[in-house]
Structures are given as structure tokens and as C-alpha cells.
Structure 1
Amino acid sequence: MSAALDRFDPRSDGVALTSTGEAGDFFELLKPRVMFLVVVTALTGMATAPGSVHPVIGLASLLAIAVGAGASGCLNMWYDADIDAVMTRTAKRPIPSGRILPSEALAFGLTLSIGSVLVLGLVANLPAAAMLAFTIFFYAVVYSMWLKRWTPQNIVIGGAAGAFPPIIGEAVVTGEFGLRSLVLCAIIFLWTPPHFWALALVKSADYARAGIPMMPNVAGPAATRRQIVLYSLIMAPVAVLPALMGFGGLIYLVVSVVTGLAMIGLSLRVLRVTEGEAATKACYALFGFSILYLFLLFAVLLAENAFGLMWALPKVIG
């Protein structure tokens, strides 16, 4: 059983090992940057939901969602430790670097997964807890254990897991999964391919060495660039929908249109510039701006709905 749990251990020499990791190493297993994004998008789902929730319940629910996101990240790192070890971008993570044992990471991730779902069910409601459980399962099992190593569409389908937090957030408030959170989910879902493939174009050699069928390695860089543009063209108008549906205001409308056009422009630059250092810079520019893009959209929506900054627009849809 021990060998099954520690299926990858860079320090394994037949001797029982214990962790040398510190608290910061265990925190790193939770992918804190992803946790932050989950908190922002889930909180936006709560703020834009019809109705309200007690601040204590809302805060406890948000904490449970954040821990659940961290748990799924931890399980992902546990399963991916073998490929993380051969990729320059991930080789220094706690497990491949030998600071934390795979069995310890697995136990940590499972404990946090179960605990976060139970807490959310107790403080909020069963639909929200069930959606959190499904999100953890989808990311840790469907994406990490199956899609990532099997299909070049891994990041497209698997990206749904990162798009679910607004749905969980709305369920905390209403106990249901409404159209507003589904639109927010669609924005994140469509954002994921251009965001991640921009980096994959630069790191394609890393993924090839690890045996991961990322889009640039399977379909080729040219096809990947075309798909980046296609997803950006679809995503930009979808991102305007909150303003048209009445839960985004004038500020959101302006921000979503301007930044959406910028995303399309940067995607077209990635399509046009294909050689040398300029191509690498174009990919990194898109990757970096895409992070700012998504954060701005959700931060503005959150501010408008939670802090009374909404300058209402005529409702066009819904």
C-alpha cells in the first residue's frame, strides 16, 4: 500500500521517509494563486446572485470553497509529481523536489477535500456542497488522472473545473444554479484555452519531455494560434453579457469591451508573430494580460454589486 501511495518519490531508497517540508511547502501544494482566483470568482458569484446571505455564513462558505480549491490543487500535485519532476517549470514543487512525500500530500488533499465539502454543507446548503465535491472530483480525477495525459483538449474540457466557483457561490446564496453564474462560468471556460495555450506555445518542449499531449505538440503551433484567436473572438462578446443581462453596470460594460478588444488584439499578434524572440514575447504578453483581464472583469462586477457602484443599464437579455 505504501508503494502505491508513494508512486513517485525522488528520495526513495527503500528506507522509511518522513517529510522535511515546512508549513510553507504544504501551503504551496494548495496552489495559492489559483485559490485566490477561485475566491474572487466565487465571491462574485455570491455578490451577483439574487438575494443575500448572512455575512458569517458567506465568509465561512468562501473559506470552505477556497480550501476545497486548494485540496484539488494538492491532489493534482500528488498525481502529477512524476511529470512535474521532468518539467523545468514545476521541478521545484514540494513533491518532485523531495520536501514532501506523495503519501503525505495525498492524505493532506483528501482530508481537506472531505472537510471543505462537509463544512460547506453544514454552513450553507447541500447543492453548494455537492457542486464543490463535483468540482474537486472533476479537477483531481477527470482532468488530472484522465484528460491531461490523454487528449490535447485536456485544458479545454478540464478548464470547466476552474469555471465552476461562481456556480458554487450563487448556490450558497440561493441553493440553486442560476443563469447569472452560468454566464460567469462560460466566461472563465472560454478564457482558459487562450490563457493556457499562450504559455503552452512557449513551454511546448517541456510538455513534450513530460509526454503531455498539449495542443502545440499534437496539432502544431499554427493550429494552436488559430484556436487561441477563435476562443478570444467568442469569449469577448460573451464577457459583455452580464451588462446586457442587468447584473453588470456601465463600468463593467466599458471594461469588458475595452479589455476584450485588447485580448483579441494580443491573440492576433500571437497569430501573426511566429518566429524568434518576438513570438515568445507575444505569447507571454497574451498570457500575462489574460490574468489581468479575468481579474478586472470579476473585480468590477464584484465592486458594482457588493459596494453599490452599479450604474444600471437597460436590461437587454433575460
Structure 2
Amino acid sequence: MSSVIPVPVDAVPPSAPTRGEVFKAYVALTKPRIIELLLVTTVPAMLLAERGIPSPWLVLTTLFGGTMAAGSANALNCVVDADIDALMKRTKQRPLAQHVVPTRNALVFGVILGVLSFAWLWATTNLLAAAMAVGAILFYVLVYTMILKRRTAQNIVWGGAAGCMPVVIGWSAVTGDIGWPALVMFGVIFFWTPPHFWALAMKFRDDYAAAGVPMLPVVATPQQVAKQIVIYSWVMVAWTLLLVPATGWVYTAFALLAGLWFLIFAHRLNGAIRRGEPGNPMKLFHLSNSYLTLVFVALAVDSALSLPVTGWLFRLPGI
């Protein structure tokens, strides 16, 4: 009489992923939620550059090229960070950490997206926009991911510059150059990035510590981090007001009100931490997404209305 020897569960190889799962994995490599936020800032930049509503075709082609460029940078980031993604609870479900996509395939996928983004933007917009898209990819992967991220607590400050490029790309796609409002919008996102990301890193401090990534909350006290968040928040809100000469009352009002809203929550977090309480950094993190969206949507509406602040002021009664 033959006997059946049970096979240990751990010895059973995992089933191969389906085509649908592989497709979803490649999409996940591009980090769609991050791309969404980048695109939210691109369209208002194009409206401001046009001083109205630009060609819908130009908007769509710029967004498509920008999506490929951002997807390329994010996929290549996943390739370089596969080892630390596997160690962090927040990122261990990413495709390379789960071995759903081979590393070589992810690398080729990222490079192809980058090449296609350059070719597409050059063909449908102009060479300047295409070149800046490639520059953003290279900066994000080579400078931030490969050099800064694992070496300095200021990684996100300087590395975040890559995430500021969509507004400049959007502006140049319309105008063919880089005007001072584009640089101001770049600065808004640049100063927004540290409060946004440090709030997230405060929540996942242990993750970054386990992976050996020296995010500021890993190497500094909560009090020091909260103080830095307040400082950058004030600079960010002040910087948004530099766009007032190029915009109108809609943007001005929302920049002031949204800025006040953000500063209240930044100071609340700082106050709670100074009192020895844990605070709620994730509340500020989620608020930061809403804040940036609100400011840039107001910019888009204002630009579509095309009412400069000076013109609005001189239409006030008695002036």
C-alpha cells in the first residue's frame, strides 16, 4: 500500500502571475498616484503661460509626454531601490520587491519610457520641453536616488527638484522658453516638498531606519523635524505670493487662504511635538496634497479668466 507524503506549504512554488497581474505590476512601477499630482501642476502652468486656454491638443500631448517621463523616472527609481523597498512595510508590495517583474525587464521598461517621452515631446511640443523632461529623469535617478537618498538627510530637499520640473516643462511647451513665473512655480513645489515628505517620513521613521535611509526624521529629533517643517511651510506660502503680479484676484485669494490653512496645521503639529505629544504628521501629509492641488487649481481658473491683479485693482470702486 503506497503512502502519500504531504508536501510542505513553503515548498510549493508560487503560481506564475497572470497577464493582468503583470500589466498591473508594470503600471505600479510608474507610481501613478505620484504622476497624478505632477500632472495637476502641469496644466495650470500651461494656462498661465498662455494667459488663457492653450490648444487642447498641446495640453494632451504635453501631459502624455510628461506621464511617460515621470513613469520612466519612477520605474528606474524602483530598480535602484528594490533592495530597500523589500525592507520597508510601506514599499514591500512594490513589483520588484515582490519579484512580479524581473529587474532587467523593469530597467528596459524605464529606459524605453524615457526615450519615448523625449521623442514624443520633441515631435509634439519643442526640443526645450523634451530636453528638460530627460534632464528631470536623469536628475531623479542619478542624483537623488543613486547619490543623495542614502547619503544625506537633505536628500529630499535637493532631490525634490526633479518633481518641480513638470511646471517648467508645461510652461516651455507653450512658450518655447522659461519665463520667471515658471521659476516661481518651480520654487513653490520645491519648498512644498520637504514639509510634504518629512510628514510622511515621521510616520514611517522606523521603516527608513531599518532600510538605512537617513531621512531627516531618522537622524534628527521630532522637535527638530517639526521646526524645519514650519520654516519650509512659511517660505512656501510666501513664495506662492511671488506669482501675484502675474495672476489675478482668484489666485491671490486662494493662495492666501490655503496658505493660512496649511500654516495652522504645520504649527499645530509643531506645538504638539514640543509638548511631548506624537502629533499627527499624516494629517499634514494628506493636507499637503490638498493644499498643492487647491493652489494650482486656483491658478488654472485665474489664468483661464485672464484677469491680472493690476487690472482687477484698478476696477475697484473709487480707484
TM-score class, shorter: 0.7 to 0.9
Report the alpha carbon displacement of residue 278 of structure 1 after superposing the two structures with TM.
5.6
Residue type of the alignment partner of 1:266? F
The residue number in structure 2 matching 1:225 is: 226
Report the alpha carbon displacement of residue 272 of structure 1 after superposing the two structures with TM.
1.5
The one-character-per-residue Cα deviations of 1:151-188 (angstroms, maximum 9, x if unpaired) are: 10000001100011110111111111110111111000
Q: 2:309 is paired with a residue of what secondary structure?
A: coil
The residue number in structure 2 matching 1:303 is: 301
The one-character-per-residue Cα deviations of 1:73-104 (angstroms, maximum 9, x if unpaired) are: 11111111100001000001111012111111
Report the alpha carbon displacement of residue 246 of structure 1 after superposing the two structures with TM.
2.4
The residue number in structure 2 matching 1:31 is: 31
Report the alpha carbon displacement of residue 274 of structure 1 after superposing the two structures with TM.
2.1
Q: Residue 252 in 1 paired to residue 255 in 2?
A: no
Alpha-carbon distance in 2 for matches of 1:271, 1:312: 36
Alpha-carbon distance in 1 for matches of 2:278, 2:260: 20
Alpha-carbon distance in 1 for matches of 2:254, 2:277: 28
TM-score relative to the length of structure 1:
0.87
Look at both structures and tell me which one has the larger radius of gyration over its CA atoms: 2
The answer to whether the 8 Å contact 1:29/1:74 transfers is yes
Alpha-carbon distance in 1 for matches of 2:233, 2:100: 39
The answer to whether the 8 Å contact 2:226/2:273 transfers is no
Report the alpha carbon displacement of residue 225 of structure 1 after superposing the two structures with TM.
1.0
The residue number in structure 2 matching 1:279 is: 278
Report the alpha carbon displacement of residue 275 of structure 1 after superposing the two structures with TM.
8.2
Residue type of the alignment partner of 1:105? A
The answer to whether the 8 Å contact 2:198/2:216 transfers is yes
Instruction: Report matched runs for 1:1-318 at 5 Å.
Output: 21-50=21-50, 54-243=55-244, 245-247=245-247, 249-274=248-273, 279-281=278-280, 283-306=281-304, 308=305, 310-314=306-310
The residue number in structure 1 matching 2:12 is: none
Alpha-carbon distance in 1 for matches of 2:176, 2:32: 27
Change (3 A) 1:278 1:128: same
Change (3 A) 1:305 1:263: same
Alpha-carbon distance in 2 for matches of 1:117, 1:254: 37
Provide the aligned C-alpha RMSD in A. 2.2
Residue type of the alignment partner of 2:214? P
Report the alpha carbon displacement of residue 276 of structure 1 after superposing the two structures with TM.
10
TM-score relative to the length of structure 2:
0.87
Alpha-carbon distance in 1 for matches of 2:226, 2:311: 35
Change (3 A) 1:144 1:264: same
Residue type of the alignment partner of 1:80? D
Residue type of the alignment partner of 2:278? A
The answer to whether the 8 Å contact 2:47/2:54 transfers is no
Unaligned runs of 5+ in 2: 1-15, 313-319
Alpha-carbon distance in 1 for matches of 2:138, 2:43: 21
Moved more, 40-49 or 52-61: 52-61
Percent identity between the aligned chains?
A: 38
Alpha-carbon distance in 1 for matches of 2:111, 2:216: 31
